[in-house]
Amino acid sequence: MATALGYKQSLSLLEAYGIETPVQVLVRTSEQFDYAIADKLRYPLVVKAIPVDAGHKTEKQLVITGLQTAKEAKQAFSSLYQRASGIPLECFVIQEQVKGVEFIVGSKKDDVFGQTIMFGMGGVYVELTRDFSIRVCPLDVEHAKAMLLETKAAAFFSRDGFRGIRASLDATAKFLVNASRMVEENPQVTEMDLNPVIATADGCYAVDCRILLEQKGQ
Amino acid sequence: MAFDRTRIDQLVKPSSVAVIGASTDPASVGQGVLKSLLYGSVFEVGGAKPFPGKVYPVNPHHSDVLGKKCYASVHDVPGEVDLAVLCVPAAAVIQVVRECGQKKVKALVVTTAGFAEIGAQGRLLQEQLAAEADKYGMTILGPNCLGIIRPPESLNASFALAAPKDGEVAFISQSGALSDSVIDWAIENRFKFSLLVSVGNSAQLDTTDFIEWCETDPHTKAIAVYLEGLKDGRRFMEVCKRVSKTKPIVLLKAGRGAAGTKSAGAHTGSLVGSYRVWKAACRQCGVVLANDFEEMFEFAGALASQKRSLHNSVAIVTNGGGAGVLCADYCEENGIKLAELTEDTLKTLESKGMHKAYSRRNPLDLVGDALPERYKAAVDTLMSTEYIGAVIVIQTLQTMTDTVEDAKVVIEAKKKFPDKPICCVFMGGRFTRPGSKLLVEHGIAEFNDPRRAARTMAAMLGLL
C-alpha cells in the first residue's frame, strides 16, 4: 500500500523542482476564502475542495471551474462546502484558471527499471485513448521533446498548432524534464499523476497533482 | 559486483575441463556433457570438433566413461582443472563446489536444477552455492542451465543435443531448453554463433555481464538475447547503451502480459504496463526488440553482416507488382519511409534500359520478364542514389527468372555500397533456393516473405 502526499506538501515538492503551478491560495475557512478572493487573484477562478485522501476530484465533483466574479466564487465555495460534508478535507484551493491544452504527466516506479515518466493527451480520458509515451528516467530535453512529439499531441506543438490552439514545446519539455528529475531524486515516490497539466503558447502548469509514497517499513 | 571480464574468460577459454557426474547412462546430463566435450556434439553434425584441451570425467561410481579414465573425485585428477561442469544432484552441489575450490578450479558450470526456481528453500541453497564459490574466487554459470558453447574455441561445455557452427552472433539465453531447440533450428537454417550461453538462475553472472563481455569479443558482431526477467534494469540499460554502439543487440522479451496495475485511483499506474516500460527502455539504450525468436536471429544475423544506417529512405525493386505493394504496406507499418523517385533517377533508369511498362515510381516494378541486366540497372542506380538510404530487392519466380544471376547483382551491389543496408525477398521454394542460398552465404538477409524483409530492414534502420 502507498500513502498519498498531502496537497500542500505536494505543491512544495513541485516548486522545489521548478514545476510551475497556477497562482493559487489554500484556505480552510470561509473568512480566509473571502479574504483571498478580495485580493490579487485574476478571474476566471477555479475552486476545489481537497480531501485528505485526495482521489479524483472531478469524479467526486469537488471542482468548480469558470468562476467570473467574486459572487460566483463565493457561491461555488458554499456548494463545495456542502458537497464535501462528511469527507475529511485538507483544505480548499482557489486557483486562477489557465486556458490551454490539457495533458497528463505521470510517473510510476517500475520493479526492474525504477522511475519512469509518462506523457499523454488530455486529462481524464487518457485511459480510453491510450495515446501516451513513456521513458525510463532521467530525461534530457531532447528526449523529452521526442516523447511529446510521438503522441497525437504533436499537432499542438507544431508552429500553427491544432485549429489555432498552440502549446509550447519548450515549456512542456522542460516541465517533463523537471518532473523526471523530481521522481528520480525522490525514490520514495511510487506513483504520480500531474493531471491535468495545462500547456499554453508559452507556459506549462500542473493544475492538479496526486503523489503516492512508499509506506515506510514495507 | 563490478564486472570483471576475466570471470567470463575463464568460462570461455579453459585449457582443461572436468565433468563431475560423468555417467555411463546415455540418458544422463553427465554423459551428454562429456560427449559434447569429447566429440564436439552429442548428435552427429558436420564440422563439430572435439575440445582441444584436457577432459576429465569425474564420478566415484565408474572407473571409466566413454573409454576415458574416470576419477572418483576432482581431487584425484592429476593435472590442473580450469573449468568444472557440475552434473550432480542439488544435494551434492555444495560439497562438490568446496572440493573444486580446494582443487583451485577457476570456473564452474552448474547444470543442476532445484535452486531459486523452486522457491524459498532453493533460493537458500543458491545463496549457499554463490557464497561457497566466492570463498574460493570461483566463477559460476548457472545453476539450472544448459551450459556454454564457444564454437571459435571448439568448446562445448553443455548438454545441448548438437553444436552450432562458428559464426558472428552471440546468443545469451535465460532458458536452457529453448537454447536446445534454437541450436537444432539454427543448424537447419544455417545460423552460426560466436557464443551460446544459457545463464540459468544467474547465481553470479547474469545476462548483462555476458552482454558486457561481448563488447570486446572479436568473434561477436551482434548479440541476440532471450530474457524473461532482470534484477537491475538500470545497469542493463547503461551497458546496452554503450555496447549497442559497436555491437547491435537484439532482444526477445518473454512475459509481456503484465498490464498496468490498478492502484489507489491514479491513472499512470493503470497505463504503464511492464512491457511498455521494456519497450521504452530498449529504445533508450539502442536495443532492437524482436517479436519472435526467428526474428531475433534474422535481425541479429542481418546486423552482424551489414552496417546499420539511420537514413530512413528505402527503395523497393520488384519484378511483381503485388509483392512490391505488399512490401510497401509492411514497410509503412514498421515506420519505414519509402523514397520518392525523382525525374533524374527515372531518366538514369530509362537510359540503362527499363521495360516500357515499368512503374516509374517506388516500389519500382521492373515487370515480370526482368532479366538480371534489368535488375542490375535498377539496383545499381538506386544504391548509388544519394537520397536513397537502403534497398529491398524482391524477386518473384517467372519462367525467365535467373535467380542465381539476380543474387549476384545484389552481392556486387552490397560490395560496392557497404554503407547501405540491402535485403532480399526471393519468393518461391525449390527453384529459388540456389539464389537465396548464395545471398545468405554472402551475408545478405533473404526472406520468402516481404513482411519479414520489411521487419529486418526496420531493424537495420534503427526503427524497432
Task: Compare B185 and B129 and report the one with higher pLDDT.
Answer: B129
Residue B257: its pLDDT value, please? Answer: 62
User: How far apart, in whole angstroms, are the C-alpha atoms of residue B169 and residue B151?
Assistant: 11
* Res B263: pLDDT: 47
Rounded percentage of chain A residues whose pLDDT exceeds 70: 94
Q: Identify the DSSP state of A187.
A: T
Residue B12 pLDDT greater than 90, yes or no: yes
**Do β-strands B222-227 and B155-158 pair in parallel, antiparallel, or remain unpaired?**
unpaired
Please state the pTM of the whole predicted model: 0.92
Instruction: Select from A120, A130, A191 the Cβ nearest to the Cβ of B263.
Output: A191
Answer left, alpha or beta for residue A79, where phi above 0 means left and psi between -120 and 50 means alpha: alpha
Residue B236 pLDDT: 97
Q: Out of A42-46, A144-148, B161-165, which region has the weakest mean confidence (pLDDT)?
A: B161-165
Higher pLDDT, A86 or B74: B74
Judged against a pLDDT cut of 90, whether residue B456 lies above it is answered with yes
**Do B31 and B70 form a contact (C-beta atoms < 8 A)?**
no
CA atoms within 13 A on the CB side of B1: 15
pLDDT band at B2 (very low <50, low <70, confident <90, very high): low
Query: B-chain residues within 8 Å CB-CB of A193?
Result: 266-268
More confident residue, B263 or B464: B464
* Beta carbons of A136 and B265 less than 8 Å apart: no
Which residues of chain B from 236 to 255 reach within 8 Å of chain A, CB to CB? 237
Residue A218 pLDDT level (bands cut at 50, 70, 90): very low
Mean pLDDT, range B180-194, rounded to an integer: 83
Residue B358, pLDDT score = 96
Partners of B280 on chain A (C-beta within 8 Å) are: 116, 133-136
Average pLDDT over residues B64-85: 97
- Give the rounded percent of residues in chain B with a pLDDT score beyond 90: 85
Written as nine digits, the cell of B134 is 566466492
State the alpha helices, DSSP H only, in B266-402.
267-271, 274-284, 293-305, 321-333, 343-351, 372-383
Residue A124 has a pLDDT of 62
Q: How far is A143 from chain B (nearest CA, A)?
A: 9
Query: Residue A56: is its pLDDT beyond 70?
Result: no
Q: In this complex, is the C-beta atom of A149 within 8 Å of any C-beta atom belonging to chain B?
A: no
Domains, chain B, with CATH or none:
5-145 (3.40.50.720), 149-305 (3.40.50.261), 314-460 (3.40.50.261)
pLDDT in tens, B379-420: 999 999 999 999 999 999 999 999 999 999 999 999 999 999
Q: Which of B232, B267, B272 sits opposite A134 (nearest CB)?
A: B272
Q: What is the pLDDT of residue A217?
A: 56
CB of B271 within 8 Å of any CB in chain A? yes
Is ipTM strictly over 0.90? no
Q: What is the CATH number of domain A101-214?
A: 3.30.470.20
Q: Please state at what angle helix B372-383 crosses helix B403-416, rounded to 10 degrees.
A: 20
Give the gap in angstroms from C-alpha A60 to the nearest C-alpha of chain B.
Answer: 12
Cα torsion B32, B34, B40, B43: sign: negative
Residue of chain B with shortest Cα separation from A125: B267
Of all residues in chain A, the one with the smallest CA distance to B285 is: A136
Nearest CA in chain A to B278: A113
Contact B281 A136 (CB under 8 A): yes
DSSP B325-360: HHHHHHHHHTTPPBPPPPHHHHHHHHHT---TT--S
For the cut 90, the answer to whether the pLDDT of residue B255 exceeds it is no
Q: Decide if B271 and A4 are in contact by the 8 Å CB cutoff.
A: no
CB within 8 A of A182, min separation 6: which ones? A13, A14, A16, A17, A19, A189
Of A1, A106, A136, Cβ closest to residue B237: A136
- pLDDT band for position B273 (cuts 50, 70, 90): confident
Q: Residue B181's pLDDT is what?
A: 82
Nearest-by-Cβ selection for B234 from A1, A114, A212: A114
Residue type, A12: S
Of B232, B269, B284, the CB nearest to A191: B269
Q: Do A112 and B229 touch (CB under 8 A)?
A: yes
Q: Does the pLDDT value for residue B145 go beyond 90?
A: yes
For chain A, domain boundaries:
23-96, 101-214
Q: Alpha-carbon distance B235 to A116, whole Å?
A: 15
Do the Cβ atoms of B277 and A2 come within 8 Å? no
Q: What angle do CA B418, B422, B423 make, to 5 degrees?
A: 145
Question: Could you tell me which CATH class the domain A23-96 is placed in?
Answer: alpha beta
The predicted-structure confidence for B372-385, as pLDDT tens digits, reads as follows 999 999 999 999 99
Q: CA geometry: angle at B452 spanning B448 and B458, to 5°?
A: 140
Q: How confident is the model at residue B264 (pLDDT cuts 50, 70, 90)?
A: very low
Q: Do B277 and A120 touch (CB under 8 A)?
A: no
Interface test with A, best of B267, B270, B278 (most A CBs within 10 A): B267
User: What is the reported pLDDT for A123?
Assistant: 60
Q: Which of residues 118-137 of A touch B (CB under 8 A)?
A: 118, 120, 124, 126-127, 130, 132-136
Instruction: Give the number of C-alpha atoms closer than 13 A to the C-alpha of residue B168, restricted to the C-beta side.
Output: 14
